[in-house]
Amino acid sequence: MTATRQRANPVTQRLRASSPKSVICQEEAAKVMAVEIVGTVHITSPVYVESVSGSRITDVDGKEYIDLTMGFGPHVLGHRPAAVEKALADQITRGWHWGIHNPLQHRLGEMLVEAAPCGEQVVFCNTGTEATMYAIRAARSFTGKSVVAVFDGSYHGVHDYALLEAERSSDRHSPVPRRRGAGIPSEILETVTMLPYNDEAAFDLIRANADRLAVVLVEPVQSSNPRTDVGPWLRRLGEVCREAGVLLMVDEVITGFRLAYGGGQEYFDVHADLATYGKALGGGMPIGAVAGRADVMSVFNAGNGRARPIFSGGTFSGNPLTMAAGIAALTQMRDTPDLYPRLNALGDRLAEGVNRHARRYGMPVTMMNAGSMFHLRFAEGQIRSSRDITNRYVEAEHIFYQHLQERGVLVPGIHLAFVSAAHTEADVDAVIEAATASLDSLRNDGMI
């Protein structure tokens, strides 16, 4: 939908009129920023944050929202949990960046090894993107093979090897990858292959390509279609990779410390060789990490007799502020026994509440969720993978999020949303009420 058409919508106009300071921020940002961090174009009425607390965000116009953004996932415990805030404040008095080693690194490393089912050794970096990039490099070095497989509908960050999507016209059982966006060399396509998600056809493709495949990358739960019915398929994927001599890398950047303390590997009982982390591991500070089998991880180490270790490094990797926040957050997550049952129940309650309403009125929407992460998908019928989601309702989808925002609920422009330990059942019920009323508005306007 064009910006002009969106702006003509009454809800867009009302939101802009009630957010004068955010509108000014957007105009000022457009002058200096080539692109904003998130596609705020998807939230046509701009929102710029002033402060946060628990489950709430307050914007620069003084409006408070129930926040379902949760920093794009890291804030499993909600905004500004006291233990993390204190750890950060204490650390700041000792310094926040040193470059050379600090003891907090191996303390967080030990916690990650304890939590990550496949983790015997770890390497820290600063983002999930770096983590998947390093895992790919490690897998290529360890196996001596060069091709990397990603799944249709996946997301593994913004480096060239991960920015792929399926040609929509290609067969859903043997998707053909294309580069996602400009500026990625076509040669990349010779080093990657794409597999169908949640589809047994992937197993034959892995076997057929075993000689050249170094590693298969999989999110235990894809952001594009969050679900928990993929356990048997994921376990079979692990077996097929093992039999074929191909490494399996589970991308836990979102699911790590969110679905369960041991992430998707624990939740689905899937066995991997490598796993990548980010988001929640840093307690809300920038972080990435690779964890994996000791023999695979040994490729990072120059001191293990290897002629050529892989190159790794990063000015801010393992910085004490991030390490301190991560230790405080993980300690609280690990030591709160009902955290994950409660989080997952909150997510299920939200999805069930919205889906009940949608079913009752025959609306073409499904609130997909895996525990506390969810994504409202506009599509008719069953969604087996991202291939079942078309852009037929894209206009309705954009306007839906504006109705939600007007009713005091904020979902990020990427539309993958989260509840946290700071959300209450009453918050979730308020979100259900806002979401169902917003869907009714779309229906009354003939958009769905």
Ligand X SMILES: Cc1ncc(COP(=O)(O)O)c(C=O)c1O
Question: 31 an active-site residue?
Answer: no
Q: Which C-beta is closer to ligand X: that of 309 or that of 314?
A: 314
Q: Which C-beta is closer to ligand X: that of 124 or that of 155?
A: 155
Using CB under 6 A as the binding rule, whether residue 132 contacts ligand X is answered as yes
User: 129 vs 161, 205, 277, 329, CA distance in Å?
Assistant: 10, 26, 10, 21
Using CB under 6 A as the binding rule, whether residue 63 contacts ligand X is answered as no
73 neighbors 373 (Cβ within 8 angstroms): yes
Calpha distance 86→102 (Å, rounded): 19
Which residues, 6 or more positions from 269, have their beta carbon under 8 angstroms from its beta carbon?
231, 235
Question: 197 an active-site residue?
Answer: no
220 neighbors 276 (Cβ within 8 angstroms): no
Tokens 């019928």 sit on residue = 381
Site string for ligand X, 270-289 (x = CB under 6 A): --------x-----------
Calpha distance 51→114 (Å, rounded): 34
Q: How many CB atoms lie within 10 A of CB 48?
A: 17
Find the part of the chain contacting ligand X (CB under 6 A) among 124-132, 340-348, 353-361, 404-412.
Answer: 124-132
Calpha distance 112→118 (Å, rounded): 10
DSSP SS3 for 156: coil
Question: Exactly one of 134, 155, 197, 261 is catalytic; which is it?
Answer: 155
Residue closest to 289 by CA, chosen among 301, 299, 279: 279
Using CB under 6 A as the binding rule, whether residue 155 contacts ligand X is answered as yes
Using CB under 6 A as the binding rule, whether residue 165 contacts ligand X is answered as no
Q: How many CB atoms lie within 10 A of CB 273?
A: 25
Using CB under 6 A as the binding rule, whether residue 265 contacts ligand X is answered as no
366 neighbors 379 (Cβ within 8 angstroms): yes
Q: How far is the CB of 426 from ligand X (least distance, A)?
A: 29
Q: How far is the CB of 276 from ligand X (least distance, A)?
A: 7
176 neighbors 164 (Cβ within 8 angstroms): no
Size of the site for ligand X (CB under 6 A): 13
Q: Which C-beta is closer to ligand X: that of 156 or that of 403?
A: 156
Helix extents (H) in 163-279: 201-208, 231-244, 263-268
Give me the sign of the Cα torsion angle 182, 184, 185, 188.
negative
Question: Exactly one of 152, 279, 340, 401 is catalytic; which is it?
Answer: 279
Using CB under 6 A as the binding rule, whether residue 225 contacts ligand X is answered as no
Q: Which C-beta is closer to ligand X: that of 267 or that of 393?
A: 267
Using CB under 6 A as the binding rule, whether residue 254 contacts ligand X is answered as yes
Question: 155 an active-site residue?
Answer: yes
Using CB under 6 A as the binding rule, whether residue 427 contacts ligand X is answered as no
Using CB under 6 A as the binding rule, whether residue 374 contacts ligand X is answered as no
Q: Which of residues 303-342 bind ligand X (CB under 6 A)?
A: none
Using CB under 6 A as the binding rule, whether residue 226 contacts ligand X is answered as no
Q: Which C-beta is closer to ligand X: that of 199 or that of 251?
A: 251
Residue with the CB atom nearest ligand X in the bound state: 128
Question: Exactly one of 199, 251, 273, 427 is catalytic; which is it?
Answer: 251
Using CB under 6 A as the binding rule, whether residue 223 contacts ligand X is answered as yes
* Contact with ligand X (CB under 6 A) among 42, 145, 156, 415: 156
Provide the annotated active-site residues.
Answer: 155, 251, 279
Residues that bind ligand X (CB under 6 A): 127-129, 132, 155-157, 219, 223, 251, 253-254, 278
